[in-house]
Amino acid sequence: MAMADSRSDGRSSRASGSSRTASRRRVLRLAGGGLALAALTAGTVACEEEAVDVKDPGSAGGGKPEGDDKGGSGDGGADRSGGAPEPLWTETTSAETFGDNDELVVAGGAVIASGTPLAALDAGTGKRKWSLPGGVVPGAPLLLSEETLYLASSQYDGTVTGYDPASGKETWRSRLGKGYRQPRPIAVDENQVYVIAEILEDDGSSTTNIIAALDSTTGRITWKEQRDVGTMQDGIHAAVRGRHLVYTDGKKNLTVRDTATGRQVWTHRTTKTNYGFFAVHQDLVIVPQGQRIQAFALSDGKEKWSLETADFTLFKEPAVVEDVLYVADSARTVRAVDPRTGKQLWQSTALADAELQVPRQYVKAGDTLYGATDLDPEGGIIAMDAKNGAVRWTFNDGTGDHHSWLVATDGKRVFALHGTKLHALPV
């Protein structure tokens, strides 16, 4: 019989270099579902009129640009003066995001932001390609495989559906059964879709949930395992590498399962996981835990390397992009690290020098690393030299919207989502 996820009481916390409390948006995300949406609706403040705030290269928001004054290749799309580029297009979307990094995706020539209706915009023009009236479940991810976008049903009827991201046409459907409620896809590989769902009691309540694998061809259940009472269905972050499914939840559990059988391989209780964000590279899972960031072997959970930051300084959300681990800390220092060994490749204080906030999400196009920050006014999209972390420019739309920024790229453009405003920036 497979082991169940370990329980851990207490709640994960998010550090801040200026001792700020966790953002209201993060709290809403962890609350999840209808409760979060209701809380958001009750407290939303009207945005200011649309404006674009272009930081000058020498200002506190821009830092010192790299490259010449002509823009284009080698400067991350900077304008002729070395500042932030003008958007190629800006569109108002139906986005309803909770700050998760998988709520803005690019696939099939379309950029898609989580919302109702779910709308796919042409990556080149910003014109609507297709939309789904039902939208997505609040807080659920936009889960992409190579050719399919998987969504939990907004009808809460127990189905998980796959769509062609280029056309919006349904290509796959699965249903766990009447005994389960609100299945949410959390990860996908070439063979299976992994979901978590509540187990319904006779009176319609639920105190337990399952994790299951669905065959991505037939939709049939490959395996399902019950998790412990008290483990959370919301706040899940997950990834798949080979035979290992790894995920975190709001109870500060880090769990790895065998993708073929569902058997739990190991689990750790973590101290601080920055709301469950982690990175995976090859056979390692890399987890920020306060002042340390640790890499564990997926096969057995043994620590392979660790890296420490300064006293009273905490690591933020990590990301592995093109075989490099990027992670910032609460002192606004950004590090590039070899994810295999933990060896530091470079360290930059450019964000602190320019009084910018640290990114919580990273993408890369060419030799430029683009970071998306939380809702701080001295943030937005920050373009950095991927070789040394130097700040090239920052982009902020000036709306003052309380949502976190999200960023995605197709290699030709960088897409920046802020509230309901979606901007396409040149690279």
User: Out of 34-43, 113-122, 346-355, which region has the weakest mean confidence (pLDDT)?
Assistant: 34-43
> In which band, very low, low, confident or very high, does the pLDDT at 83 lie, cut at 50, 70 and 90?
confident
Say whether pLDDT at 73 is over 90.
no
According to the model, what pLDDT value does residue 274 have? 65
According to the model, what pLDDT value does residue 293 have? 96
Tokens of 30: 């962890």
Across-strand partners of 426? Answer: 413
Say whether pLDDT at 2 is over 50.
no
> In which band, very low, low, confident or very high, does the pLDDT at 13 lie, cut at 50, 70 and 90?
very low
According to the model, what pLDDT value does residue 230 have? 66
- Count CB-CB contacts under 10 A for residue 319: 21
Say whether pLDDT at 330 is over 90.
yes
285 within 8 A of 278, measured Cβ to Cβ:
yes
According to the model, what pLDDT value does residue 5 have? 56
Convert the pLDDT of each residue in 151-170 to its tens digit. 988 777 778 999 999 999 99
- Any idea what DSSP says for residue 251? T
Say whether pLDDT at 4 is over 50.
no
Convert the pLDDT of each residue in 18-69 to its tens digit. 333 334 444 334 343 333 333 333 333 333 333 344 444 333 333 333 333 3
Say whether pLDDT at 123 is over 80.
yes
According to the model, what pLDDT value does residue 105 have? 96
User: Out of 271-275, 287-291, 299-303, 408-412, which region has the weakest mean confidence (pLDDT)?
Assistant: 271-275
According to the model, what pLDDT value does residue 294 have? 96
Torsion angle of alpha carbons 11, 16, 21, 26, nearest 10°? -60
Which is more confident, 369 or 33? 369
Q: How far apart are CA 402 and CA 24, in angstroms?
A: 8
According to the model, what pLDDT value does residue 138 have? 75
Residue showing tokens 């297009």? 89
Convert the pLDDT of each residue in 228-260 to its tens digit. 776 767 778 999 999 999 999 878 889 999 999
295 within 8 A of 246, measured Cβ to Cβ:
no
Strands 279-281, 170-175: parallel, antiparallel or unpaired by DSSP? unpaired
Per the prediction, the chain carries an average pLDDT of 83
Instruction: State residue 416 phi and psi, 5-degree precision.
Output: -120, 120
Peptide bond into 185 cis (omega under 30): no
According to the model, what pLDDT value does residue 139 have? 72
- Count CB-CB contacts under 10 A for residue 219: 16
Across-strand partners of 288? Answer: 293
Read off the pLDDT of each residue in 141-157 and give the average, rounded to a whole number. 88
pTM score, whole prediction: 0.81
Q: How far apart are CA 42 and CA 390, in angstroms?
A: 40
The backbone region for 362, taken as left when phi is positive above 0, alpha when psi lies in -120 to 50, beta otherwise, is beta
Distances, alpha carbon 102 to alpha carbons 193, 217, 381, 387, in Å: 16, 23, 17, 26
According to the model, what pLDDT value does residue 58 have? 35
User: Out of 4-13, 183-192, 205-214, which region has the weakest mean confidence (pLDDT)?
Assistant: 4-13
- Count CB-CB contacts under 10 A for residue 210: 21
Across-strand partners of 297? Answer: 284
